[in-house]
Amino acid sequence: MPATSGAVFTALADPTRRALFERLSREGELTVRLLTDNSGVSQPAVSKHLGVLKHAGLVRARHRGRQTHYSAQPRALAPLVDWMSYYSRFWHDRFDRLEDLLKGMDQ
């Protein structure tokens, strides 16, 4: 497992955080208030989720006046693509081992 992927996986394992990240990816820079409106989630909860996304490098915060504007950082998704190549190597290797095992097994 690529060492850098843990925080990204943890951040995106939560459906609320995924939704926040998807929305920022789609709509560009948004404030916490805009992200909270009509979301069914409280503003402190949204802020907390944004903190986790920020820690994982998935969003960037920009302070302007009293407002904080958040934007998505899609480059941080690279570990998810690495995940596919990781498991591709992993399963090809395990298939080889499985074939070796089958050769050695009785019918």
Partner 1 sequence: MTTTARSLVIEKELPHPPEKVWRALTEGSLIEHWLMDNDFQPVVGHKFSFRSTPVPNWNGVIEGEVLVIEPNSRLSYSWATMGMKSVVAWTLTPTKDGTRLRMEHSGFRSEEDAAYKGASYGWQKFIGNLERVVGGLE
User: From the CB of residue 1, how many other CB atoms can be counted at a distance below 10 Å?
Assistant: 12
For residue 88, state whether it binds partner 1 (rule: CB under 8 A): yes
x/- track of binding to partner 1 for residues 1-20 (CB under 8 A): x-x-xx--xx-xx-xx-xxx
44 lines the binding site for partner 1 (CB under 8 A): no
Tell me how far, at minimum, the Cβ of 31 lies from partner 1, in Å.
Answer: 14
Residue 62 one-letter amino acid: R
Sites for partner 1 among residues 54-83 (CB under 8 A): 74-75, 77-78, 80-81, 83
Name every residue whose Cβ is closer than 8 Å to that of residue 19 and which is 6 or more positions away in sequence.
Answer: 39
Query: Which tokens is 25 given?
Result: 């990816």
Name the nearest CA neighbour of 50 among 68, 77, 64.
68
Say whether residue 100 binds partner 1 (CB under 8 A).
Answer: yes
Cβ closest to partner 1, residue 66 vs residue 103: 103
- Beta partners for 39? none
Q: How far is the CB of 94 from partner 1 (least distance, A)?
A: 6
